Amino acid sequence: MLRRIHSLPALIATLLLVVAAISGAFLSANPAIERLGTSVPANGQISVAALAERVARHYPGAEQIQRSPSGTIIVYFSQDGGTGAERVDPLSGQGIGPYAPSPFTRWVKNLHRSFLADTPGRAVAGVSALIMLVLCLSGMALLVKRVGGWRQLMRPLRGNFSQRWHAELGRVAIFGLLLSALTGLYMSAATFGLVSDGAQTEPDFPGVATTGPVAPIGTLPALQAIDLNDLRELVYPSPGASEDFYSLRTAQGDGYVDQASGALLSWRAHDGVHKTYELIYQLHTGEGRWWLGLLLGLSALSVPLMAGTGVVMWWQRYRAMPRIADNSGAQSADTVILVGSESNSTWGFAKALHDALREAGQRVHTAPMNRLATQYRQAKHLFILTSTYADGDAPGSANQFLARLDRFSDSHRPRFAVLGFGDRQFPKFCQFAIDTQDALLARGWQQSLDLDTIDRQSTQEFARWGEAVGQLFGRKLNLAYTHKHPPTQALELISRSDYGTQVQAPTSILRFGSITPQNRVARFLRRIGFNGLPRFEAGDLVAIVPPGSPVPRFYSLASGSKDGFLEICVRKQPGGLCSGMLHGLQRGQRIDAFIQPNPNFRPASGKSSVILIGAGAGIGPLAGFIRNNTDKYPMYLYWGGRDPASDFLYEPELGGYLADRRLTELHAVFSRVKQGAYVQDRVLDNASQIRQLIEEGAQILVCGSRAMAASIMHALDGILSPIDLDVRTLKRQGRYREDVFGYA
């Protein structure tokens, strides 16, 4: 529901918001530009009387002096039967250039205020401000839910390019956009009389002027008492009319000044409503606060970029929604599939299950979880495939499911199985899938399969789950589904280091480079640092597409693109298609690959200590983090292998990192030596040091097999219990990050 509140108004009003934002950004630069060409004296340095006296020397026909909110002094005068207007230097009273407002600026201002449509356009502008306010509030709520709470608001963001940039821009620009929306909405309401605009009636015109000769303007006490920076406008009396008065407008109020005595007459001070409106006007336009205008302009420039990324995200969700062919009716189906998805990515897996069950002879009905019927007359099986949104919440297509579940008929309940989709980086991995299963069991439903989960949309895990589903129907199901992946880039192997053959754990460190032509241009580009590699950092993932398979395999990167090479550490798996191919590569041979960012698995910025824990090939990204620790923040590595004589991965490099202090301490442990142990044993051996580091704010990064990661979590929970901490809390704080895989 919250996503709909955010996306629907945005899609409807995109063009209006972009026009308002671009025109607003243009206008926001004017106060700063005007301020650059203006000399603003300090408070108390020049009075209005002193300025008027200086102006009189150069403009004897002066009729009016204005001071703009940015401090520009403008004098309007008569000369040789004509009129003119010039900007003047307040320190000398001399002209510094003609004053002529730009017709283009006036046009842009009209476009911004009313979309060039006068009163109806002003109403549309007010509605646009209201929509912007809704987008700001709903966008902030979505972002807070996405990162898991206000305290996590500045944590790195996940997602594809459009998702990350949309959220990043919103996070940076939210307060400027919120201020513009609130002040714009107030000003629009004031335009239509819904709130007061603070306008006051003119002060009463004085009755009779003081008799006597007209005093020089520089000697008038009322003008001497007013600081120039408080001036808004001074209008001179009509020439030769001794009964007329000076008309004065200031930041504090308006009044008249007697020509002869210089007394302030008929003064009317501004009330609170007027001052409030002036403040809101300044906050919206930046006039008088040029620095704020620039900040608001920069915030406004994010709107067209967010509009573009927002449309791309909507289109991606729309394209990701598969068209379910031969979808049986809910009451005639043998099997029902219900889908919970936020971005429609889960639907591809649901369609694969739908098609496989149809091939098995089932009549299948597939629908969103929010369309749970009150009964399914023929169904014997119910499969629920659901993702989890933000911090354990229901995704968009499932947020009404639990409420609808209470209305389901008790007369016939199919047996159910729940499959959760999520990312183990998040503390509440597949939480909504767990909640769904618990709700069904609490209402007396019977399971056909235990809850299973899919990490990062793994096609291998999905196929494995399909084997269990196939057993329910007495036949093999081929659940093959692969996301469309980005275009691949060819990379060639430039070096390799092999380990572990003697301990039956063949592991290789492979370095790849880009394939660039051997010509002068390519050599020049390499000399200036362009290595032809895509952008990536240690801890990101490289997806390698093995020959004969459309399914990419993901490996954690042990290098960043600035290192000039792409490095991975790969253990050969028995029967592994991709790992076998990689281990068979020779220098100069090529692979096809693309990069998948993994920003949640890397050390957070700051000077806090970093504890790195891994085993086997999981040392790859950890070594990359150490290599890039050029600021030499404290880093502690705990790593487990089998035999130091065979598979001490990165041993020479780690020695160098210890020598130059990029690595503070190395704790290596081996399982196939006398008195061997595992990495979790070494962690327990150093419990007091680890506990102290965590108390001081240290962060932990773990990379390796799922079994190893589970052992590490258990060990750390025991270490942290004396200080009332646990791994779950560290995850919630963003201080415990994992990159784990299913096999050792």
Predicted confidence (pLDDT) per residue in 338-383, tens digit: 999 876 778 889 999 999 999 999 999 999 999 999 999 999 999 9
* One domain for residues 327 and 396: yes
Which percentage of the chain shows pLDDT scores above 90?
A: 60
Whether 206 is covered by a domain: the verdict is no
Cα gap 316→318, rounded to integer Å: 5
For 295-305, write each residue's pLDDT tens digit: 999 999 999 99
What integer is the mean pLDDT of 579-595? Answer: 93
362 shares its domain with 462? yes
CA contacts within 13 A on the Cβ side of 207: 0
Residue 701 domain-assigned?
Answer: yes
Two tokens, residue 397 = 């297509």
Mean pLDDT of 660-664: 96
Domain that includes residue 29, residue range: 4-35+105-198+279-314
Residue 210 forms part of a structural domain: no
pTM over 0.75: no
How would you classify the pairing of strands 635-641 and 610-615? parallel
Confidence category of residue 465, pLDDT binned at 50, 70, 90: very high
Does one domain contain both 44 and 30? no
**554 or 420, greater pLDDT:** 420
Rounded Cα distance, 11 and 30, in Å: 30
Are 513 and 579 in a shared domain? yes
* Percentage of the chain exceeding pLDDT 70: 93
> Is it the case that residue 734 has pLDDT exceeding 90?
no
Instruction: Identify the band that residue 566 occupies on the pLDDT scale cut at 50, 70 and 90.
Output: very high
For the chain, how many structural domains are there in total?
5
| Beta bridge pairs of residue 26 | none
Triad 171, 343, 153: Cα angle to 5°: 25
How many beta carbons lie within 10 A of that of residue 559, not counting itself? 25
Domain containing residue 531: CATH number:
2.40.30.10
Of 251-260, 722-731, 734-743, the poorest mean pLDDT is in 734-743
Residue 255 · residue 201 · CB < 8 Å? no
Q: Would residue 626 count as lying in a domain?
A: yes
Residues 468 and 588 in one domain: no
Spatial CA neighbour of 192 closest among 101, 113, 269, 136: 113
Whether the predicted pLDDT of 528 surpasses 50: no
Tokens of 33: 């530009």
State whether 80 and 131 are in the same domain: no
| 353/422 same-domain check | yes
Domain co-membership, 426 together with 459 = yes
> CA-to-CA distance for 556 and 545, rounded, in angstroms?
15
Q: Is residue 258 located within the same domain as residue 285?
A: no
CA dist 253 and 251 (Å) reads 6
Nearby residues of 440 by Cβ (< 8 Å), 6 or more positions away: 405, 416, 418, 447
Which burial class, exposed, middle or buried, applies to 696 when counting CB atoms under 10 A from its CB (0-12, 13-18, 19+)?
Answer: exposed
3-class state of residue 234 by DSSP:
strand
Q: What angle do CA 302, 308, 309 make, to 5 degrees?
A: 90
Question: What is the C-alpha to C-alpha distance for residues 609 and 127, in angstroms, rounded to an integer?
Answer: 50
Top pLDDT among 701 and 429 is at 701
The secondary element (H helix, E strand) that includes residue 740 is strand 736-741
Select from 596, 629, 658 the last residue of a domain: 596
* Residue 211 belongs to a domain: no
Read off the pLDDT of each residue in 290-311 and give the average, rounded to a whole number.
Answer: 91
Question: pLDDT for 89-123, tens place per residue?
Answer: 999 999 999 998 889 999 999 999 999 999 999 99
- The rounded distance, in Å, linking the Cα atoms of 213 and 461 is 99
The residue type of 591 is: I
Same domain, 452 and 344: yes
Q: Say yes or no to pLDDT of 560 above 60.
A: yes
633 found inside a domain: yes
665, two tokens: 């301490």
- Average pLDDT of the chain, as a whole number: 88
Q: Do 236 and 157 lie in a common domain? A: no
Residues 636, 699 contacting (CB under 8 angstroms): no
- 395's enclosing H/E stretch is none
pLDDT at 148: 61
Give the model confidence (pLDDT) of 1-19 as tens digits.
Answer: 566 677 777 778 889 999 9
pLDDT of 520 over the 80 cut: no
- Residues 463 and 533 reside in one and the same domain: no
